[in-house]
Each structure stands twice: as C-alpha cells, then as structure tokens.
Amino acid sequence: MSECRGSVFSYKAVVWDLDGTLYYQNKMRVTMLWKLVSFYALHPLRIKELFAVRKFRKVRELWDRPASSESLEEEQYEYTAKLMGLSPETVREAVETWIYDKPLKYIRACRDEGAARLFSLLKEKGIGCYIFSDYPIEEKLEALGLEADGCYAATDKRLGVLKPDPRGLELIMEDTGFKPGDLLMIGDRDSKDGEAARRAGCDYLILPKSRRAREKKYDLYELQSAGGRA
C-alpha cells in the first residue's frame, strides 16, 4: 500500500472519490454560497435553516461512528436537529435542497475535465471505475456525464460508515473479487481517501487542489495511455 508512483493504467480498477475529485468543490461552494445568501436574504425568518446546513456539513465531516439501527443519514439529521433546535424534517429538507438538489444544476460547470478524460481513458482500456463517497452518488454522477461500474456511498445502509473507514473499498473487493493490489484509490484528501486506502492495503493517488497542478498530472497519464514514457 503506497502512493501511486507508476502508471494508473497498471491497475485492474480505479476507485474514485467524488466531491472535490471529479469536480472542483471550492468552485461549487462559492456558487452555492451566493445562492444561499440570496435566498435567505429574502426569507430571513428561515435563516436558521442556513446554519443547519452548515452544521450538518460539520457533523458529517467529524462523524466517527457507524450507523446503528437507523440509516447513517437519519442519525445525522436527528443529531443536527437537536443541536439546532429544529425538527429532523426541517434539517432534512434544507440539506436535500442545498447540498443534494440545487448543486446538480451547476455541477457540470465545476467538473474537473482532466479527471473526466482520465475516467474515460481508463474505461476504454477495460479498467474498472468505481465511486466511493461519503455522500449520495448517482444523481451527481449523472449530472457530471459519467458512468461508473459501481457506486458505494456511506449513506447506503450496506455501508453506513464514513471515510477513512475502508469499508467501501472492502465491499468493492468482496463484490468483484479484486485484491488490494488490484485497486488504486483516487481522491483529494489524504486524511480521508488516502487513509482509507492505507487501511484497506490499496495504493492511492491524492490529487492536488490546484487546477494547474492537476492538469500536469493528467497530461502525464494521457502520455502513459498513449504508450509514451512517464
């Protein structure tokens, strides 16, 4: 288990993180911040919902235990609701609106085009592409115009734990028969994606935040794909 230093095309499958990896999350957050501020400026009596969305993000980020009898998401809605003095239904509606639904309209404009090209190149060469994310996957992936071989979200009852728990990688191996050495995890955060890969015994690649630095990596991978020397 190590950071990928060879060709990404030497693996049988690549497991992608989604948020911040297949699209630039900072660009999305700036876009959504303006939408949030504009909406709640016109609806000041509902301003607490805005703070509930922020609190939910923080709760999701710091959550360190598996779901019990309920789904992971339901537990987090209830936990956030208690912290904010709101009903779980109000928190759920705000989160679904501002974290899940409205960003879909803008996600394609935030897509990491280099990552999308690499994703397509891998699939063309018969290398599996899977998604392992802490958030729901399918609608975002469709909005990005990408199709994966399998999706593993922490919010699925079968998974129910957040990174850096490696359960998503373990489930991919259980479902496909791949071994740890067959997989490469690509993400944007070493503390989450890299650590999950290390715990699962898989290699990993952490993408830089800078668009320019990423493009240099993608140029190298496209050269590898064409049979050139790295």
Q: Is 209 helix (H, G, I), strand (E, B) or coil?
A: coil
Report the half-sphere exposure of 110 (CA within 13 A, side-chain side): 23
Could you state, in chain order, the average pLDDT of each consecutive group of 10 residues for the chain (230 residues)? 75 97 94 92 93 95 76 92 96 96 96 96 96 97 98 92 96 98 96 97 94 88 63
204 shares a domain with 157:
yes
Cβ neighbours of 108 (radius 10 Å): 12
- The pTM (predicted TM-score) of the whole model is 0.89
207 shares a domain with 137:
yes
In order, the DSSP letters of 128-145 are: EEEEEESS--HHHHHHHT
* Tokens of residue 112, six digits: 């990491």
Whole domain around residue 33: which residue ranges? 27-105
* Tokens of residue 174, six digits: 């259980």
Q: Which of residues 90, 105, 120 is at a domain's end?
A: 105
173 shares a domain with 128:
yes
Residues 6+ apart with CB under 8 A from 80: 52, 55, 56, 59, 86, 91
